């Protein structure tokens, strides 16, 4: 069974902390994505990576950065967490030549206090 695995299901962090969210996929997919999911707002793209060390900003990149040193791993970094970054974070991946069907991780619910 193919998988996208997010390392933590729940995280609680303090304002100002540096936070790392990890995502690993075992499908050899080129594309990986980080979205945040908020009620009433749907899913909004934070960052996108189409290859190792390659990244593009999504619609809401402010306050976030990403790292993709290996094909299977895509990390989302909150440099200085703030309360408005409390959200559900979803990682997804797909093959570059696919018809956009994503495989999603189970999500990380981050609470910043």
Partner 1 sequence: AQRVTQPEKLLSVFKGAPVELKCNYSYSGSPELFWYVQYSRQRLQLLLRHISRESIKGFTADLNKGETSFHLKKPFAQEEDSAMYYCALARGNQGGKLIFGQGTELSVKP
Interface contacts to partner 1, rule CB under 8 A: 31, 33, 35, 39-45, 48, 50, 56, 58, 90, 92, 94, 96, 98-102, 104-107
Comparing CB distances to partner 1, the nearer of 77 and 88 is 88
Cβ of residue 68: shortest distance to partner 1, in angstroms?
14
Q: Pseudo-torsion of CA 110, 111, 112, 113, nearest 10°?
A: -160
Kindly give, in sequence order, each residue whose CB lies less than 8 Å from that of residue 99, ignoring residues fewer than 6 positions away. Answer: none
Q: What is the DSSP letter of 84?
A: G
* In the complex, minimum distance from the CB of residue 32 to partner 1, in angstroms, rounded to a whole number: 10
- Asked if 75 and 21 count as a contact pair (C-beta separation under 8 A), the reply is yes
Dihedral sign for Cα atoms in the order 108, 59, 100, 25: negative
Residue whose CB is less far from partner 1, 55 or 81: 55
| CB nearer to partner 1: pick between 6 and 81 | 6
- Report, in Å, the least distance between residue 50 CB and partner 1: 5
């Amino acid at each position: 069974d193919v998988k996208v695995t997010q390392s933590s299901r729940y995280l609680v962090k303090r304002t100002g902390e540096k936070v790392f969210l990890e995502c690993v996929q075992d499908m050899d997919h080129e594309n990986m994505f980080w979205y945040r999911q908020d009620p009433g707002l749907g899913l909004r793209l934070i960052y996108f990576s189409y290859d190792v060390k390659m990244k593009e900003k999504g619609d809401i990149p402010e306050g976030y950065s990403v790292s993709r040193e290996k094909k299977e791993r895509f990390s989302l970094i909150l440099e200085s967490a703030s309360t408005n970054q409390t959200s559900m974070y979803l990682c997804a991946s797909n093959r570059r030549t696919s018809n956009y069907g994503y495989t999603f991780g189970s999500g990380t619910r981050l609470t910043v206090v």
